[in-house]
Structures are given as structure tokens and as C-alpha cells.
Amino acid sequence: MRAAGRVVFRALSRAREMARPGMTTLELDRVVYDTYTSAGGHGLFQWYPTYEPGKGFPGNTCISVNDEVVHGIPGDRVLKDGDVVSVDCGIQLGGYCGDSAITIPIGQVSPECEKLCRVTEETLALAIREVRPGRRWTDVAAKMQEHVEKNGFSCVREFVGHGIGVKMHEDPKVPNFVSDDFRKKGDFYLQPGMTLAIEPMVIAGQCDVVVLDDGWTVVTKDSTPAAHSEHTIAVTATGCDVLTDGR
Ligand code: MG
Ligand code: MG
């Protein structure tokens, strides 16, 4: 999984280097695709979830701009100064998966967007610091939610992190917030050897989201910007090991 994670890291680093005003999201998708295929990685997003060509997600990466939260389809949209662009990449290498996302500020972004990107990254970093064996996931999720909300932002409810291993999406569900329902039915204790994708999705305004007519792109209902940050991690005997940080 670390080998897969290293390739995902390289692909996203390349996207961060290359993203600039005037580039289309399809061109950015190509940069990511070329990086992971040249390393022998097999993309997990195209034609998800059926993997039947022509059915499912029509892109190699999810590229979501401004009020798009997740699952944006790469296309002819041109990036411009001030945009915030989240790039999500999942691949399989040697039978194991890596899944990671970053949000890239394009040129000079507003102070609000700068704070949004920073708080989203901080929320992921905070979760990683809090992961250790024997702890309940809701204890970690409560701290993530608190950090987002004390900064005046909100956590997406409809989409959550997940277990990951030989498949991209495995049990358990890994939310970035706490609900009574999840406490009763979904909570779990962190155990050494568990591998999870932790992925805060943060909205500058209210938490409500809508899926566009393309069937994929998730946008904020109030049109405020959103950011997304994700790492694949392993729970170890003493804490947490990040598998998609390039080591
Ligand atoms: Mg992802
Ligand atoms: Mg994921």
C-alpha cells in the first residue's frame, strides 16, 4: 500500500506543480494520469463503480473547482486566478490501493479560500495525530468537526472516508463528523493493521450539497467554495503511519 501511496503522492505533487491559470481540468487530469501510469499504477476512478467502459465515472481523477466539493469531472473548464481546485487520485499497484486528495489554490486566492484550504489540511493533520489503537473513531471525528466549525466552516455529511486495502472502498465508513446514528451503528475502535482513507471535505458556508445533472459533480447548495484533503493511513501499534505522504 505504501508503494501505491508513493505513486499517488507523486501524481498529486506533479498536479500541484503544473496547475495554473489557463489550463483546463482535462489537461490537469492528463498530468496525473501520465504520472501514475508511467509508474505502473492502475487508475481506480475511471468507470467507477462498474468498471464497464462507458458506464460510471468518466475521468481518471476527480477535479472539483470552487463550489464543487468532490467528484468533479475533468473537462474543458479553464482554471483561472483565484480558483481553488481539489484533485483526488486513487490507484492500484501490485494489488493494493492508495487514495489521496489535495486542494490547490490557483494564483492569488481570496483570504477566505486561503483559510479554507489551511483549515481543511489542518483537520486532516489533526485526525492523523489523534489516530491510535484502542481509540473510538468518533473521538477523532469529534475533534475534526470541532476544528472545522470553530473556524466558521462546515463538514459535508453525505460523503465520508472509508476503509481501503485491496479495494478502494472497504468497510468501515470513516466520517468527518459525529452523529447519533453513527455513534449507535457505525462507530469502531481503531486497531493496529487497519488501513483507512481519511478525507475531510469542508465547506466555507452551510453543509448542504447537491449533485449536478451529470450524476457525479457534488456542489455546495449555497455556492460557497469547498476544499478536500485526503490521506491513506495505517493504524500502527503506537499510532498512525501515513501511506500517501511520499515516503
Ligand atoms: Mg480520494
Ligand atoms: Mg477516498
Please tell me the predicted confidence (pLDDT) of residue 124: 98
Please tell me the predicted confidence (pLDDT) of residue 47: 95
Nearest ligand (C-alpha, residue 90): 1
Question: Domains of the chain by range and CATH?
Answer: 2-242 (3.90.230.10)
Nearest ligand (C-alpha, residue 62): 1
What are the C-alpha distances in Å from 144 to residues 131, 174, 175? Answer: 12, 12, 10
| 3-state secondary structure (DSSP) of residue 13 | helix
CA dihedral for 97, 91, 216, 218, sign (positive or negative): positive
How far does the centroid of ligand 1 lie from the alpha carbon of residue 71, in Å? 9
Query: From CA 138, how far away is CA 74, in angstroms rounded?
Result: 34
How far does the centroid of ligand 2 lie from the alpha carbon of residue 79, in Å? 24
How far does the centroid of ligand 1 lie from the alpha carbon of residue 156, in Å? 15
How far does the centroid of ligand 2 lie from the alpha carbon of residue 199, in Å? 6
Please tell me the predicted confidence (pLDDT) of residue 79: 98
If we measure between CA atoms, which residue out of 143, 93, 29 comes closest to residue 243? 93
How far does the centroid of ligand 1 lie from the alpha carbon of residue 49, in Å? 14
How far does the centroid of ligand 1 lie from the alpha carbon of residue 115, in Å? 22
How far does the centroid of ligand 2 lie from the alpha carbon of residue 97, in Å? 10
What are the C-alpha distances in Å from 10 to residues 46, 106, 119, 121, 135? Answer: 19, 19, 23, 18, 31
Nearest ligand (C-alpha, residue 169): 2
Alpha helices in the chain (DSSP H): 2-18, 25-38, 111-130, 137-150, 180-185
Please tell me the predicted confidence (pLDDT) of residue 41: 97
Query: From CA 33, how far away is CA 59, in angstroms rounded?
Result: 10
Q: Which residues of the chain have pLDDT under 70?
A: none
